[in-house]
C-alpha cells in the first residue's frame, strides 16, 4: 500500500525507541523504499506504524525547488507555516493546532531548538537545505522518545551521507535569478570499506522583497536583504563488523535585514549563528541481536539584533541571545524475534542527559530583559513493538523525565495498526501524552524591576489521540491507481503558561484544545503523472476565553503534481490555499492597532519548478515562486514575498 504525499514512514517507531545512533548510508538522490530503516535501524514497513510521518526526500527538495526549510514544510499536511517576510525572516510552524513552541526540531536525532528563545520555539526561516538528505515530519506527540517540546510534532533533519562503495563523488549546484538572488552548493563525499566522509558548503544571497504589506499608507517598499552560509563535515569509521564511530560538525550563519509593522524600518538587522557537533559510536553484541551505542552532542546558538535610531524612530535596539545545549545519550535496541503471540518483536531502552544554558540581554536600556541560567535533566526511556496474527501491529513506549528545577513528567504513547488486505486498507489507532518544560526565560528571566520569571512553573502537558484509515483504490488499470487517507486527531492542552493577572510574572493558567481531520488523495493515472491533494480542517479553542487560537486557520489545502513526460524532464507544480486565520493583534491600513479577535484574509500561493537532465550527472532547472504575485498575509501586516524566478544547474559526478 502506498501512502499519500509521496512518503509516509515509521512514525511511531520514532516515537517509541532511540534517537538515531546510526543510519545506513544512502545515495545522494535516493527515493526511500517502502520499508525504511528508522532511528533504531529496525526495518519497519510504512504500513505497519500507527501514525503519519511525511518524508521530504532529496529528490523532492530538488524537483520542487525548496531553498529553505520553511519552503519545504509549507505544504505538509496538518502543518501551518507562518513566515513574516521572505528568506531568513522569522518562520513558525503550527502542527495540528498546537503552538509553535510545541514543535521539536532535530538534526540527525539531536534537539536543536535554541534554549535562548524565550518560549523555546524554533525559527524555520534560517535553515538552507544543500546538505540535507531528507526531512521527516512526525505529527502527534513525541515526548515518549524526545522529551520536552514534542507535544504536537517532531521534525528531524537528516544530513547527506556518502553513497556505498563510491570512493569519491562530487555534488553541487549554482543558480541565480530575480531579486538579485544567487545560490550555490559544493560538496564531496565517498566511502571505502572502513571509512566514509562528506564535506559540503553552501550559500545564498538575495535582495529579497518588501515584507511589509503594501496596504499600509506609509509603506516605503523597502526590501530586506539576506545572506546565509553553512558548512558541514562528517567522517565515519567502521573498525569491525557491527561497530561504527562517527563525527559530525555543522556551522550555519545568516545575516538579514528585518522589518517592523506598520512602518518600515530602514536599519534593523539580525545575525544568527549556530555551531553543532556530535560524536557517536555503536557496536553489535550477541551476534547482532543487541546493539548498544553512545552519543555526545553540543549545540551553540548566538543571535544578535541591532537597530539604530533613524528618521522614522529614535528608539534603538541591541539584543544578544546565547544558548547552549549538551546532550549525552546511551541507547540500546534488542531484536527479540518471536515471543509468545508476538512476532518480529523488538525492545529499545536508554538514558538521555541534557544540559541547557542561556545568557540573554534584550530591550531598551530602561526596560532591559535578561536571562542567565542553567538547567539539567535526565530521562529513562523504553519501548516495545511486535506483530500478532500477521496483520495486527502493536507498539508502546514510556519515558520518565527528571529535572533539577521543575517537576518531571512521565510520557507514554501506544498504538495499533490493523491490516485489512481484503479491502486494500489499514486501520490506525494511537494515543499518547507529551509535555513542554518551562523555558529558562519563563523560569528565571527578568524585565527591569517589573517582571520576574516563575521558578515554580510546571510543564505544559497534552493528551492526544488519533484514528485513521488508508485505502488503495483500483483505478487506471492498477491496484493502487489512487490512495485515500483520512485521519481524525484530538488534543487537549493543560497547564499552558501565560502572564499572571498583574503581568509581573508567569503562571500555568491556560487550557486549550484542537481537533480536526487530515484528508489526502493521491492519483496515479499514468506512470509519468501523479497528483496529490491534502486538505487539513482544524478547530482550535482557548478553553478559558472560548476564542479560536491565533494563526490557526480552519482550512488549508495543498495541491501538487509531478509530471515526467520523458525520463529527462520533470515538471512540479504546487498550489497552497490557506483559509481565513484568526489574529489577536492586527493593524488597519492607516497603521492603527486593532485589538481583540480579527481575521486575516484567505490567500493562495502557486509555485512551479521544471528540471531537465542535460546529460548524465547534470540537470538544469528553473524555479518560479508565487507566480501570481499574491500579497497574501500569513501574519497580519507581513506579506508573502513577491514573484521570483531562479535558473541554474546541479551536478553529481
Distance CA 646, CA 183 (A): 9
In a domain, 1, yes or no: no
* pLDDT given at position 222: 85
pLDDT for residue 4 is more than 90: no
Q: Determine the Cα–Cα distance for residues 506 and 455; give it in Å rounded to an integer.
A: 9
Tell whether omega for the bond before 262 is within 30 degrees of 0, i.e. cis: yes
The answer to pTM > 0.95 is no
Classify 118 as helix, strand or coil.
coil
CATH for 615: 2.40.170.20
The dihedral formed by the CA atoms of 39, 44, 48 and 51, expressed in degrees to the nearest 10:
20
Average pLDDT over every residue of 301-320: 86
Q: Grid coordinates in use for 212?
A: 511589509
Cα angle 455, 459, 461 (rounded to 5 degrees) comes to: 160
Q: Is residue 2 part of a domain?
A: no
Give the CA radius of gyration of the chain: 24
Tell me: the pLDDT tens digits for 10-29? 333 333 333 333 333 333 33
441 membership: H or E segment, kind and range:
helix 440-444
Report CA 436 to chain centroid distance, whole Å: 16
Picking from 627, 475, 510, 402, the residue whose alpha carbon sits closest to that of residue 119 is: 510
Question: Phi and psi at residue 418, in whole multiples of 5°?
Answer: -110, 115
Q: Kind and range of the H or E element at 418?
A: strand 409-420
Measured distance CA(640)–CA(110) in Å, rounded: 31
Mean pLDDT over the full length of the chain: 90
> How far apart, in whole angstroms, are the C-alpha atoms of residue 584 and residue 392?
46
Of 32-41, 53-62, 69-78, the range with the lowest mean pLDDT is 32-41
pLDDT of residue 107: 94
pLDDT in tens, 100-150: 999 999 999 899 999 999 999 999 998 999 999 999 998 999 999 899 999
Instruction: Tell me the three state secondary structure of residue 626.
Output: coil
Residue 211: helix, strand or coil by DSSP? coil
Report the percent of the chain where pLDDT is more than 90. Answer: 78
345 assigned to some structural domain: yes
What total number of domains does the chain contain?
A: 1
pLDDT given at position 44: 63
Residue 422, exposed/middle/buried by CB under 10 A (0-12, 13-18, 19+)?
exposed
Determine the 3-state secondary structure of 421 from DSSP: helix
Inter-residue contact 110 to 352 (CB < 8 Å): no
| Local confidence band at 1 (pLDDT 50, 70, 90 cut-offs) | low
- Top-confidence residue, 486 or 53: 486
CA neighbor of 127 nearest in space, from 112, 140, 142: 112
pLDDT (0 to 100) of residue 310: 78
Measure the CA–CA gap between 608 and 624, rounded to whole angstroms.
5
Phi, psi values for residue 569, rounded to 5°: -110, 130
Chain segment 423-463, per-residue pLDDT in tens = 999 999 999 999 999 999 999 999 988 999 999 999 999 99
Phi then psi for 384, rounded to 5 degrees?
Answer: -135, 155
Higher pLDDT, 25 or 561: 561
172 within some domain: yes
In a domain, 5, yes or no: no
Q: Among 471, 469, 472, 386, which Cα is nearest to 428's?
A: 469
Does residue 31 surpass a pLDDT of 50?
A: no
Q: Quick: pLDDT tens for 380-422.
A: 999 999 999 999 999 999 999 999 888 889 999 999 999 999 9
**Domain for residue 426, yes or no?**
yes
Please answer whether residues 496 and 454 qualify as being in contact, where contact means their C-beta atoms are separated by less than 8 angstroms: no
- Least confident span in 355-359, 383-387, 484-488, 561-565: 383-387
Return the pLDDT at 428: 94
In the numeric block, which cell numbers belong to residue 231?
A: 558548512
The most confident of the ranges 257-261, 331-335, 531-535 is 531-535
Q: How confident is the model at residue 520 (pLDDT cuts 50, 70, 90)?
A: very high
Q: In terms of pLDDT, which residue wins out, 88 or 427? A: 427
3-state per-residue secondary structure call for 467-523: EEEEEEEEECCEEEEEEEEEEEEEEEEEEEEEECCCCCCEEEEEEEEEEEEEEEEEE
Whose grid coordinates read 553540543?
298
In a domain, 383, yes or no: yes
Contact of 16 with 39, CB cutoff 8 Å: no
- pLDDT tens sequence across 602-616: 999 999 999 999 999
For residue 5, what are the contacts with CB-CB under 8 A and spacing of at least 6? 54, 76, 77, 520, 522, 532, 534
> Count of CB atoms within 10 A of residue 366's CB?
6
Cα-based angle 572, 157, 492 (whole degrees, multiple of 5):
95
- The confidence score (pLDDT) of residue 42 equals 53
Which residue is associated with the grid cell 519545504?
72
Question: Cα–Cα distance between 224 and 600 in angstroms, integer?
Answer: 23
Q: Does the structure show a pLDDT above 60 at 43?
A: no
Q: Residue 122 CA to chain centroid, in angstroms?
A: 9
153-159/103-107 β-pairing: parallel
CA 473 to chain centroid: 31
**Domain assignment of residue 570, yes or no:** yes
Sheet of 103-107, strand order:
53-57, 132-139, 153-159, 103-107, 110-111
pLDDT per position as a tens digit, 274-291: 999 999 999 999 999 999
Q: Do the beta carbons of residue 97 and residue 431 sit within 8 Å?
A: no
Give mean pLDDT, residues 362-391. 92
**CB-hemisphere CA count at 13 Å for 27?**
8
Range of the domain at 289: 11-652
Do residues 57 and 134 touch, judged by C-beta distance below 8 A? yes
Q: Which residues contact 422 (CB under 8 A, 6 or more apart)?
A: none
Whether 39 has a pLDDT exceeding 50, the answer reads no
Residue 566 or 210, more confident: 566
SS3 assignment, position 145 = helix
Task: State the residue for C-alpha cell 520523458.
Answer: 566
Q: Could you tell me the three cell numbers for 112?
A: 536543536
Cα(123)–Cα(105) distance, integer angstroms: 10
pLDDT (0 to 100) of residue 179: 93
Name the one residue in this structure whose C-alpha cell is 502557486. Answer: 606
Amino acid at each position: 500500500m502506498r501512502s499519500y504525499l509521496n512518503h509516509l514512514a515509521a512514525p511511531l517507531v520514532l516515537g517509541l525507541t532511540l534517537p538515531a545512533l546510526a543510519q545506513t548510508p544512502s545515495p545522494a538522490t535516493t527515493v526511500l523504499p517502502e520499508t525504511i530503516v528508522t532511528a533504531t535501524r529496525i526495518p519497519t514497513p510504512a504500513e505497519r506504524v500507527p501514525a503519519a510521518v511525511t518524508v521530504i526526500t532529496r529528490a523532492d527538495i530538488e524537483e520542487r525547488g525548496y531553498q529553505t526549510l520553511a519552503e519545504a514544510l509549507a505544504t505538509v499536511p496538518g502543518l501551518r507555516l507562518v513566515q513574516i517576510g521572505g528568506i531568513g525572516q522569522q518562520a513558525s510552524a503550527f502542527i495540528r493546532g498546537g503552538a509553535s513552541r510545541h514543535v521539536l526540531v532535530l538534526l540527525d536525532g539531536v534537539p536543536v531548538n535554541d534554549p535562548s528563545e524565550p518560549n523555546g520555539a524554533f525559527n524555520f526561516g534560517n535553515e538552507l537545505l544543500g546538505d540535507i538528505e531528507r526531512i521527516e515530519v512526525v505529527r502527534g506527540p513525541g515526548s515518549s522518545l524526545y522529551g520536552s517540546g514534542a507535544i504536537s510534532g517532531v521534525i528531524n533533519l537528516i544530513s547527506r551521507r556518502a553513497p556505498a562503495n563510491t570512493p569519491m563523488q562530487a555534488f553541487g549546484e549554482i543558480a541565480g535569478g530575480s531579486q538579485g538572488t544567487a545560490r550555490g552548493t559544493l560538496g564531496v563525499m565517498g566511502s571505502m570499506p572502513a571509512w566514509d566522509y562528506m564535506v559540503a558548503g553552501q550559500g545564498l544571497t538575495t535582495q529579497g522583497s518588501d515584507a511589509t504589506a503594501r496596504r499600509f499608507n506609509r509603506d516605503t517598499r523597502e526590501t530586506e536583504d539576506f545572506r546565509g552560509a553553512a558548512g558541514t563535515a562528517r567522517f565515519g569509521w567502521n573498525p569491525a563488523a557491527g561497530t561504527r564511530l562517527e563525527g559530525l560538525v555543522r556551522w550555519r550563519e545568516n545575516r538579514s535585514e528585518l522589518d517592523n509593522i506598520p512602518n518600515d524600518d530602514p536599519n534593523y538587522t539580525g545575525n544568527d549563528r549556530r555551531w553543532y557537533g556530535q560524536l557517536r559510536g555503536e557496536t553489535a553484541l550477541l551476534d547482532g541481536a543487541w546493539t548498544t551505542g553512545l552519543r555526545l552532542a553540543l549545540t551553540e546558538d548566538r543571535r544578535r539584533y541591532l537597530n539604530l535610531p533613524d528618521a522614522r524612530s529614535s528608539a534603538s535596539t541591541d539584543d544578544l541571545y546565547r544558548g547552549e545545549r549538551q546532550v549525552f545519550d546511551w541507547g540500546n535496541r534488542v531484536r527479540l524475534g518471536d515471543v509468545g503471540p508476538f512476532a518480529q518483536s523488538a525492545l529499545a531502552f536508554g538514558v538521555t542527559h541534557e544540559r541547557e544554558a542561556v545568557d540573554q540581554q534584550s530591550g531598551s536600556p530602561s526596560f532591559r530583559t535578561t536571562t542567565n541560567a542553567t538547567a539539567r535533566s535526565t530521562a529513562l526511556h523504553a519501548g516495545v513493538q511486535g506483530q500478532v496474527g500477521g496483520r495486527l501491529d502493536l507498539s508502546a513506549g514510556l519515558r520518565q523525565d527528571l529535572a533539577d528545577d521543575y517537576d518531571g513528567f512521565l510520557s507514554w504513547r501506544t498504538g495499533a495498526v490493523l491490516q485489512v488486505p481484503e479491502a486494500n486498507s489499514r486501520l490506525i489507532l494511537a494515543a499518547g501524552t507529551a509535555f513542554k518544560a518551562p523555558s529558562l526565560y519563563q523560569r528565571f528571566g527578568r524585565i527591569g524591576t517589573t517582571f520576574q520569571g516563575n521558578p515554580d512553573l510546571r510543564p505544559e502537558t497534552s493528551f492526544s489521540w488519533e484514528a485513521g484509515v488508508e485505502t488503495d483504490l483500483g483505478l487506471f488499470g492498477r491496484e493502487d491507481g489512487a490512495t485515500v487517507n483520512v485521519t481524525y486527531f484530538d488534543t487537549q492542552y493543560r497547564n499552558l503558561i501565560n502572564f499572571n493577572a498583574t503581568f509581573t510574572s508567569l503562571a500555568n493558567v491556560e487550557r486549550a484544545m484542537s481537533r480536526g481531520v487530515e484528508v489526502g488523495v493521491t492519483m496515479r493515472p499514468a506512470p509519468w503523472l501523479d497528483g496529490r491533494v491534502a486538505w487539513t480542517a482544524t478547530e482550535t479553542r482557548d478553553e478559558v476565553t472560548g476564542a479560536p487560537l491565533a494563526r490557526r486557520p480552519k482550512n488549508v489545502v495543498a495541491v501538487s503534481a509531478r509530471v515526467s513526460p520523458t525520463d529527462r524532464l520533470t515538471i512540479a507544480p504546487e498550489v497552497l490555499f490557506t483559509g481565513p486565520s484568526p489574529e489577536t493583534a492586527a493593524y488597519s491600513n492607516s497603521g492603527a492597532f486593532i485589538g481583540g479577535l480579527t481575521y486575516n484574509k484567505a490567500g493562495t500561493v502557486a509555485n512551479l519548478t521544471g528540471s531537465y537532465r542535460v546529460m548524465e550527472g547534470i540537470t538544469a532547472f528553473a524555479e518560479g515562486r508565487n507566480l501570481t504575485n499574491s500579497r497574501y498575509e500569513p501574519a497580519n501586516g507581513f506579506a508573502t514575498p513577491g514573484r521570483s524566478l531562479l535558473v541554474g544547474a546541479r551536478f553529481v559526478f
